[in-house]
Amino acid sequence: MDGLSVETIAGWGRHPVCRAAVLRPERLRLPRAGRVLPRGLGRSYGDAAVPASAQSLVLETVRADRILAFEPSTGTLTCEAGLSLAEILRVFVPRGWFPPVSPGTKFVTVGGCVASDVHGKNHHRDGSFGGFVGRLVLETADGRLVECGPDRERELFLATVGGMGLTGLITEATVRLRPIETPWMFVEVEPAAHLAEMLDGLRHAGKDWPYTVGWIDCLATGSGLGRGIIMRGRHASRGEAPGARPRETSVRGLPFDGPQWLLSPLLMRAFNAVYYRIQSRRTGGRFVPYDAFFYPLDTVKDWNRLYGRSGFLQYQCVVPRAAGGPVLSELLERVSRAGATSFLAVIKDCGPESDAYLSFPLEGTTLAMDLPYRGPTTEALVHELDGTVVRAGGRIYLAKDAVTRRDDFERMVPRLPQWQRVRDRWDPEHRFGSALSARLLGDEP
Ligand SMILES: Cc1cc2nc3c(=O)[nH]c(=O)nc-3n(C[C@H](O)[C@H](O)[C@H](O)COP(=O)(O)OP(=O)(O)OC[C@H]3O[C@@H](n4cnc5c(N)ncnc54)[C@H](O)[C@@H]3O)c2cc1C
């Protein structure tokens, strides 16, 4: 096959890895036979975009990134699945449009955003990415091009949004963008001294602000457990924003893998404490470029190398509002006690869950923590955390996961049998598969 190369494939967390053949075509079409894994920019952390074995072809979509149509009266964009949010921002922000939902990095493709049904700082108000998708074109396992959406082939649509690339290859998407007046955000920051204050602060901020998020010093213990910074923001209007265009953010690279000592509990505790102290002093409102608000991590290219060669896991779960504080305390205490030494954790209020069968967010609180990967010890910690999440009626985010066990996953996702029926109808032989689907669904590697 033209342009085929054999490469080592990993997610953003750099664990696990698999060597497999990769194809980056300009026109997205499935090969006639064989196992396939669609992959965008590889920003899922775990094994969702990693093949289960060398038997699978990785079809990377990044060269299929054309804008096919734009309707300026409604902000409706039709594009190929490999178009990145970075490119959408570059083209559309100057024209007064913004992605309706954005994850914490812009280096993701539209196909990846649909397949993970990504959520952003506005989930409490606007829901997840799939809620803004009007139409998808999917190449299914038998090579047919099928259109689906909220009103046509609805079951296939609901299985594909959040379906982690396991129902077909998304080739095109139609997405509603959001109108904005300026590239600036108005942002306020407020410290929270402990978890209860953080949860209250997020709830309170969510009533008036479209974007809210909290950063937690997840190594603080005792009365400071869950202390952190609450950030709330909104798009600035023409009348109030600075007149100048924001300066381009410069991107720095990380030229080496982080050494082990960087991850020592002592150093991380100190880093988190200093960050908390500095941010606590920056209270009050200010205008910042949208990049600084939405994508602070994008300023360091390859920051994932900080965690060294063995990589890291990101543990992200959501727990229902009713379970709330005590369960989140338990998770934070467990990680802190294990000395699992995560940098800052992210906490966020979520709104109601969507109809998409495998979509992650549900009404409650989501917590995301980086855990340096230390083999079985880290995996055992994840299983423990999973146990707590299952008991609370919560779930983990597949776009971050690499370790959760199949039985725990089945307990977390009551709509899994519905999703499996739709998948089996459209892909009876499971041509579409990944290391994640082998681990969690028992697919053949
Ligand atoms: C720094 C950082 C911050 C993040 N913040 C957030 C956040 O705030 N909220 C959030 O929800 N997520 C967040 N993420 C996760 C990220 O948004 C998702 O993993 C997203 O899916 C990555 O898009 P991608 O193009 O890189 O897809 P990949 O990682 O390449 O693939 C992800 C999944 O999509 C499938 N897929 C990709 N393209 C297609 C296609 N064309 N057809 C069918 N299936 C396809 C793959 O098979 C895989 O299962 C973050 C990630 C990073 C690195």
Question: How do residues 235-257 score in pLDDT, each as one tens digit?
Answer: 999 999 998 888 877 777 766 77
Provide the whole-model pTM: 0.96
pLDDT tens column, 169-215:
999 999 999 999 999 999 999 999 999 999 999 999 999 999 999 99
Q: What is the spatial distance between Cα 257 and Cα 228, in angstroms, rounded to a whole number?
A: 28
Residues 6 or more apart in contact with residue 410 via CB below 8 angstroms = 416
Give the residue among 164, 64, 44 at the shortest CA–CA distance from 114.
164
Tokens encoding 22: 């990769």
Tokens coding 393:
């009626």
Cα 116 to averaged position of ligand 1 atoms, centre (Å): 6
pLDDT, one tens digit per residue, over 125-179 is 999 999 999 999 999 999 999 999 999 999 999 999 999 999 999 999 999 999 9
Looking at ligand 1, which residue's alpha carbon is closest to its atom 45? 165
Distance CA 400, CA 421 (A): 24
Task: Give the pLDDT of residue 262.
Answer: 65
Measure 45 CA to ligand 1 centroid, in angstroms.
Answer: 8
pLDDT of residue 2: 63
Predicted confidence band of residue 33 (pLDDT cuts 50, 70, 90): very high
CB distance 64 to ligand 1 below 6 Å: no
The band of 261, judged by pLDDT with boundaries at 50, 70 and 90, is low
CATH domain 184-404 topology? Alpha-Beta Plaits (3.30.70)
- Cα of 108 to ligand 1 centre, how many Å? 6
Query: How is the chain split into domains, by residue range?
Result: 184-404
Which residues 6+ apart lie within 8 Å of 197 measured at CB? 227
SS3 108: coil
